[in-house]
Amino acid sequence: MELENLQREDVLMSTRLAAGGRLLNRGKSVRFEFNGKHLRGFDGDTLASALLANDQMLMGRSFKYHRPRGLVASGAEEPNGLVNLGKGGRFEPNARVTTTELFDGLTATSQNHWPSLDFDVGVVNNYAARFLPAGFYYKTFIQPRAAWKHVFEPFIRQSAGLGKAPKDRDVDTYEHFYAFVDVLIVGGGIAGLQAAKTAGASGAKVLLIEQTGHWGGRAPVDGAVIDGKSADDWINNTLDLLDKMENVQVRSRLMGAGIYDHGYALAHERLTDHAPSDDMPRHRLWRIRAKQIITATGAIERPLSFAGNDIPGVMLASAVRDYVVNYGVSAGDRTVVVTNNDDAYRTAIALKGAGLDVPLILDARASGGGALAEEAAALGIRIANGKAIASVKGGKRVTGVQVCAQAGEGAVLEEIACDAIAMSGGWSPVVHLWSHCGGKLIWDDAHAHFRPDADRAPTGADGEPFVSVTGGADGAMSFSGALANADETARHVSKRIGRKAKKATPPNADDVEMAPLAPVWKMPQGAGIKLRSKMWLDYQNDVKVSDVQLAAQEGFESVEHTKRYTTLGMATDQGKLSNINGLAVLADSLNEEIPQVGTTTFRPPYTPISMGSIAGEATGERFQPLRRTPLHDWHAGNGAYWEPVGHWRRPYCFQRSGESVEDAVQREVKATRDSLGLLDASTLGKIIVKGPDAGKFLDMLYTNMMSTLKPGRCRYGLMCSENGFLMDDGVVARIDEDTWLCHTTTGGADHIHAHMEEWLQTEWWDWQVFTANVTEQYAQIAVVGPNARNLLEKLGGMDVSADALPFMAWADGQIGGFDVRAYRISFSGELSYEIAVPASQGRAFWDALLEAGAEWQVTPYGTEALHIMRAEKGFIMIGDETDGTVIPQDLGLDWALSKKKNDYLGKRAQQRSHMADPDRWKLVGLETLDGSVLPDGAYATADGTNANGQRNTQGRVTSTYHSPTLGRGIAMGLVLNGPDRIGEVIDFPKTDGSIVKAKIVNPVFYDPEGEKQNV
């Protein structure tokens, strides 16, 4: 039997017809490659039509059972025709052959087969199907566990996967574009075109977008006659008309991907997929704001569920018709049509017209079809009413059908040889975009589909609808109905945005009379389990009618749960074909009505969009903004080992040739302590706070008193959140009677400025305070070490003596000819000045300091030396000693909490019982007994275990370094009752199991009297 089939398959052909193909340019041949085979197509082909023309019906293997799969559809709904496209930097998995336009040099390989497309080992799954039922993953994840690890997982890993991940960097470029329109119309079929014409006539700014490269949708294929003209003529006339309207833009290859709140829509433009180019962006993501959106997205034909409906050669009736009419390609020589509606007769008529054989039309309706059926009968096509497919014959290709009565259980009445089957289960409106932003659906019994419920549309900020739907997407299933509907919708939408579309008669189209559709959810009606186990619902994820029924039996009543349990509709096609059929089967199994079961949620994007388009320009050097200080170029040229600090890059240290990072850091600390160091402190935040209420404002913001600070003086301050936690610190300088300058941490500059503005704008809006963030106006350079004053005096200018500029004072003046503001502040414990100059002077000033400082071996130092020196002095660092859960009291900073003030942000929070708990861990210094460096973040253990059986802890390391000054490891940490336990030794286990013993000491390791900074 199997052998016989194979022999017969050899002669079955899909092929290019001698004539026809309205989208083809037969004058231009195009070369391409599929699985290493060199093939030819025509300009205007899709990859799908070109493959079919080359008799390549087999496209890939199914995900779970590795069954052979061929084309089903001709558009975005295609579930099977997914390929690896391109090579190297242009490699892309899961490319849909039906939406991939053919170009010269295209290369594609099939996916999900091993070792080859024609011979696949995994097809054994086919016979193992009963071991992979619905919920397989859930069941085997639970038990037996050993079986999962040793049996299922290795097997599934080998066989699963849709496409390969790209290995090379994408060579293409991408970008975004922001567009603002009155009316966005998604879908360029006749309904979308008519809607654009009507809305455009109202004067509204209209953007009409179409996902393919062609306009008019299905109308030309289906032979529409509009206002006495052929569909193609009407479409071209309408496009000409729209082109003349300055307020209307039409764009093809631009897919409406998603609709979001506030009239926001995303659309994905494919610029070079059909003609690769190094110059142009490959994709452009349109970020559109529209006052009103019309979705004219048409409808998608549904498959029928009969046994063997996944065998290559079984296709949607509309797709079979598309390939003949649009591309001059036949799916087979002998095509059996099976349907529950009149539309599929169009396929039989088109095939006959192309000289192909249609041995039989199986119409599941006992009463048969209408006018189109009569036309088919007149062409001599045999029609069998009330009949169905019992089973499809064939393996890798359809070889025939077994016919049965739809009403029965599948007893075979006759067998017909054929090499293609065109099926139609009716049409489902594309409601995805309507649903993205909350539009609701209603069940339409007459057409057996869900369509948008205009009374429950997505609504905008004003509570009014901002999305409308028209044409086939609205369930308008005739040409004249779609056009009239489009005109009316566009008129209504124009009115919503305050415009008036002039009254005009919508175009008139000739409609054929259609007999009613009969819902058919499985074929035949009474199919037993054997047949149901061969009826595919979701081709890509291998979900069958029997799987959904099993899920229902096992108690999955919610459609959302059933979806996840069976994986129905969870593949890259998002269930475009399987959704309605699946939930109809579920409803039937639950003995409920379809509307009661409802649909799963439609989520953007409509079809997958490239990651590159989402990133837009943000790739490579443009991936993230990198903030550079005015001295950045000097650092880069002098061995800077960079550290990211927010978006800034700061030198961690400056490596000399042959020097390790650690050695560089140690050298920088020693040179600064011994003589003279320079630090680029430009990144520290600088915020001016000015106004009659500025002092009062700062007293609320900082825990200590800033209003009493004298002009010309500086004070270190702490800032807490309203929950009492320490969030920032820095030196505040009083500039004049009503002006302060607040220094923040590097990371805090923008955030603290925003924090200030929030309080000023929302809580203390009546206080007279202005703020300005002037962080980037200045290059700020710390001149640090015993020779700091010598250097500044050598450059000459302002008086920087201890008398004129004492510790914690500031002054304006000139140094070395530069206009400067000099702050006598120290974060290192050394004699130190921070000198601010305008940013444009920063580099010149830095160079002057380096040149003049040479005699004291002036040494630029980085952030790590800064950290070590502050830790030696016991100064805390926001982000090291604090982590959002630490309050100033934990850090022994009680001296900076004003007792005189009635209130400051965080004060009340710090009085809560947990905050005032004496058992909160507190800051201490830690000195290892062996002189080693404690691991960062290490925990100190305590006796016993907690409820989870873990060791109890009594403290943790917050900062830890090797101190070159002291020649051993030093650390700071938070320890239970720490300050009361000075001298005690506690244990810090390391990850290797060993234990480091550390003594609790005062956190100030260096110059506790402050004699060095105050000279």
Partner 1 sequence: MSEVQGLLRSDGFVAVRQLPLRGMITVKGDLSATALKNVATGLSGVDFPGPRECNCVGDNGIAWMAPDEILLMVTHATIPDAMAKVAATLQGQHYLAADVSDARTIFELEGAGVREVIAKLAPVDLAPDVFPPSAFRRTRLGQVPAAFWLKDNQTAELICFRSVTQYVFDILTHAARANTQVSYF
**280 contributes a contact to partner 1 by CB under 8 A:** yes
From 63-71, 621-629, 658-666, 850-858, give the range in contact with partner 1 by CB under 8 A: 621-629
Do residues 502 and 330 touch, judged by C-beta distance below 8 A?
A: no
**275 contributes a contact to partner 1 by CB under 8 A:** no
Do residues 862 and 654 touch, judged by C-beta distance below 8 A?
A: yes
**Residues within window 849-888 making contact with partner 1, judged by CB under 8 A:** none
How many residues in the shown chain lie near partner 1 by CB under 8 A?
Answer: 50
Q: Which is nearer to partner 1, 160 or 626 (CB)?
A: 626
**633 contributes a contact to partner 1 by CB under 8 A:** yes
Helix (H/G/I), strand (E/B), else coil: 482: helix
Per-position x/- string for 193-232, each x denoting binding to partner 1 as judged by CB under 8 A, each - no binding: ------------x---------------------------
Do residues 183 and 206 touch, judged by C-beta distance below 8 A?
A: yes
**485 contributes a contact to partner 1 by CB under 8 A:** no
For residue 628, the minimal CB distance to partner 1 (Å) is 5
Cα(first)–Cα(last) distance of the chain, in Å?
102
**335 contributes a contact to partner 1 by CB under 8 A:** no
From 193-201, 418-426, 457-465, 775-783, give the range in contact with partner 1 by CB under 8 A: 775-783
**629 contributes a contact to partner 1 by CB under 8 A:** yes
**628 contributes a contact to partner 1 by CB under 8 A:** yes
HEC readout, 801-865? CCCCCCCCEEEEEEECCEEEEEECCCCCCCCEEEEEEEHHHHHHHHHHHHHHHHHHCCEECCHHH
Distances (CA, A) of 407 to 363, 365, 376, 389, 883: 12, 10, 24, 11, 71
Distances (CA, A) of 511 to 223, 226, 256, 479: 10, 10, 29, 6
**Residues within window 680-699 making contact with partner 1, judged by CB under 8 A:** 688, 690-692
Q: Which is nearer to partner 1, 125 or 173 (CB)?
A: 173
CA 302 to CA 580: how far, in whole Å? Answer: 8
Q: How does DSSP assign 326-352, residue by residue?
A: HH-EES-SEEEEEESSSTTHHHHHHHH
**Residues within window 639-678 making contact with partner 1, judged by CB under 8 A:** 647-648
Give helix 661-674 / helix 863-872 axis angle, nearest 10°. 60
CA 706 to CA 697: how far, in whole Å? Answer: 9
> Using the rule CB under 8 A, which residue among 66, 284, 492, 753 binds partner 1?
284
> Using the rule CB under 8 A, which residue among 776, 984, 987, 1007 binds partner 1?
776
The b/e string for 287-313 (b: 16+ C-beta within 10 A; e otherwise) is ebebbbbbbbbbbbbbbbbbbbbbbbb
Q: Which is nearer to partner 1, 159 or 629 (CB)?
A: 629
Dihedral, 227, 229, 233, 236 alpha carbons, nearest 10: -10
**Residues within window 175-194 making contact with partner 1, judged by CB under 8 A:** 175-180
> Using the rule CB under 8 A, which residue among 556, 778, 810, 861 binds partner 1?
778
Q: Which is nearer to partner 1, 339 or 863 (CB)?
A: 863
For residue 484, give the DSSP letter.
Answer: H
Distances (CA, A) of 864 to 408, 669, 763, 925, 934: 82, 9, 39, 19, 16
Q: Which is nearer to partner 1, 818 or 988 (CB)?
A: 818
Q: Which residue has the tokens 């859960």?
A: 885
Q: Which is nearer to partner 1, 330 or 863 (CB)?
A: 863
**625 contributes a contact to partner 1 by CB under 8 A:** yes
Q: Which is nearer to partner 1, 346 or 686 (CB)?
A: 686
> Using the rule CB under 8 A, which residue among 192, 332, 630, 853 binds partner 1?
630
Q: Which is nearer to partner 1, 481 or 691 (CB)?
A: 691
φ/ψ of residue 487, rounded to 5:
-60, -45
Angle at the Cα of 629 from the Cα atoms of 669 and 842, rounded to 5 degrees: 85
- How many residues in total does the chain contain? 1015
Strands (E), 839-967: 859-860, 921-928, 939-945, 951-963
**127 contributes a contact to partner 1 by CB under 8 A:** no
**289 contributes a contact to partner 1 by CB under 8 A:** yes
**711 contributes a contact to partner 1 by CB under 8 A:** no
For residue 624, the minimal CB distance to partner 1 (Å) is 7
From 191-199, 403-411, 765-773, 910-918, give the range in contact with partner 1 by CB under 8 A: 765-773
From 437-445, 602-610, 626-634, 703-711, give the range in contact with partner 1 by CB under 8 A: 626-634
Q: Which residues pair with 1001 in a beta bridge?
A: 925
From 83-91, 495-503, 771-779, 803-811, give the range in contact with partner 1 by CB under 8 A: 771-779
**Residues within window 134-173 making contact with partner 1, judged by CB under 8 A:** 173
For residue 287, give the DSSP letter.
Answer: E
CA 787 to chain centre: 54
> Using the rule CB under 8 A, which residue among 128, 411, 754, 772 binds partner 1?
772
Q: Which is nearer to partner 1, 775 or 965 (CB)?
A: 775
For residue 770, the minimal CB distance to partner 1 (Å) is 4
For residue 619, the minimal CB distance to partner 1 (Å) is 9
Q: Which is nearer to partner 1, 610 or 777 (CB)?
A: 777
Q: Which of 916, 926, 913, 912 is nearest to 890 (CA)?
A: 916
**627 contributes a contact to partner 1 by CB under 8 A:** yes
Q: Which is nearer to partner 1, 777 or 898 (CB)?
A: 777
**262 contributes a contact to partner 1 by CB under 8 A:** no
Do residues 690 and 738 touch, judged by C-beta distance below 8 A?
A: yes
Give helix 545-553 / helix 559-566 axis angle, nearest 10°. 120
For residue 176, the minimal CB distance to partner 1 (Å) is 6
Per-position x/- string for 795-834, each x denoting binding to partner 1 as judged by CB under 8 A, each - no binding: -----------------------x----------------
CA 376 to chain centre: 49
> Using the rule CB under 8 A, which residue among 770, 812, 857, 995 binds partner 1?
770
Q: Which is nearer to partner 1, 767 or 807 (CB)?
A: 767
- Cβ-Cβ contacts under 8 Å for 775 (sequence gap 6 or more): 683, 684, 685, 686, 687, 749
> Using the rule CB under 8 A, which residue among 558, 840, 885, 946 binds partner 1?
840
Q: Which is nearer to partner 1, 274 or 440 (CB)?
A: 274
CA 322 to CA 329: how far, in whole Å? Answer: 9
Q: Which is nearer to partner 1, 196 or 441 (CB)?
A: 196
> Using the rule CB under 8 A, which residue among 98, 424, 771, 832 binds partner 1?
771
For residue 189, the minimal CB distance to partner 1 (Å) is 23
φ/ψ of residue 534, rounded to 5:
-115, 10
**252 contributes a contact to partner 1 by CB under 8 A:** no
φ/ψ of residue 640, rounded to 5:
-60, 130
**624 contributes a contact to partner 1 by CB under 8 A:** yes
CA 703 to CA 408: how far, in whole Å? Answer: 84
Do residues 95 and 108 touch, judged by C-beta distance below 8 A?
A: yes
**1008 contributes a contact to partner 1 by CB under 8 A:** no
Establish how many alpha carbons lie within 13 A of residue 243's alpha carbon, considering only the half-sphere containing its beta carbon. 6
Q: How does DSSP assign 756-813, residue by residue?
A: HHHHHHHTSTTS--EEEE-GGGEEEEEEESTTHHHHHHHH-BS--STTTS-TTBEEEE
For residue 534, the minimal CB distance to partner 1 (Å) is 50
**621 contributes a contact to partner 1 by CB under 8 A:** yes
Chain residues binding partner 1 by CB under 8 A are 173, 175-180, 205, 249, 277, 279-281, 284, 287, 289, 617-618, 621-622, 624-630, 633, 647-648, 688, 690-692, 768, 770-772, 774-778, 818, 838-841, 843-844
